[in-house]
Amino acid sequence: MSAFRATYSDWKLVRTRQVIQIVFEVPLADADSAYEILGGMPNSSKERWFGIAAINTSAAPKQKKDWRDLPPSQQSGIRCDDPLFAHFLKEQRPDDWHEAQDPAACVRLICGVESRSELGANHKARVIWHQIDEQFQAWKALEHA
């Protein structure tokens, strides 16, 4: 990591050198990281330059949703973008994979739907999707922990 967070707290004019000193405060928990990034104690014989950028805090941080709170169509979209899930389907569902050749098409084939958006409305498809996802998680835990 080459950045750390800090809050702007003060500045001081140094007239004899025609500069200002800017004071930033770093949370104590991040102090070691900041110290390392800055290269330790300042050395007046070796000037080092750093860039300073504001962090946009106007947007509220997104809360990560629990997997179970995501709709099945979104869950399947996330899984289908995971190369490990494609590997799981190839290994564990070779006949379905051979026919589909694509994670999204394979999920649709196994669940018996035309579109993954149907996974939320079709009870049988939703149950099948959850079984596939649980099998994937178990396979991943055993094979790729």
Q: What is the pLDDT of residues 43-59, one digit of tens each?
A: 878 888 888 888 876 66
Tell me which residue of 23, 37, 38, 113 sits closest to 76, measured CA to CA: 113
d(CA 22, CA 50): 12
Tell me, yes or no, whether 62 lies in a domain.
no
71 and 134 assigned to the same domain? yes
Please count the structural domains in the chain: 2
48 and 72 assigned to the same domain? no
Tell me, yes or no, whether 131 lies in a domain.
yes
State what percent of residues in the chain have pLDDT above 70: 94
Tell me which residue of 56, 74, 53, 77 sits closest to 65, measured CA to CA: 74
73 and 13 assigned to the same domain? no
Domain assignment of residue 135, given as a range = 67-143
Q: Where are the alpha helices (DSSP H) in 28-122?
A: 31-38, 72-80, 83-92, 94-100, 103-111
When pLDDT is cut at 50, 70 and 90, the band that residue 61 belongs to is low
Residue 53, amino acid? A
85 and 127 assigned to the same domain? yes
32 and 75 assigned to the same domain? no
43 and 79 assigned to the same domain? no
What is the structure's pLDDT at 133? Answer: 96
Q: How many CB atoms lie within 10 A of CB 76?
A: 24
Element (H, E) at 22: strand 19-25
- Please give the average per-residue pLDDT across 103-111, as a whole number: 95
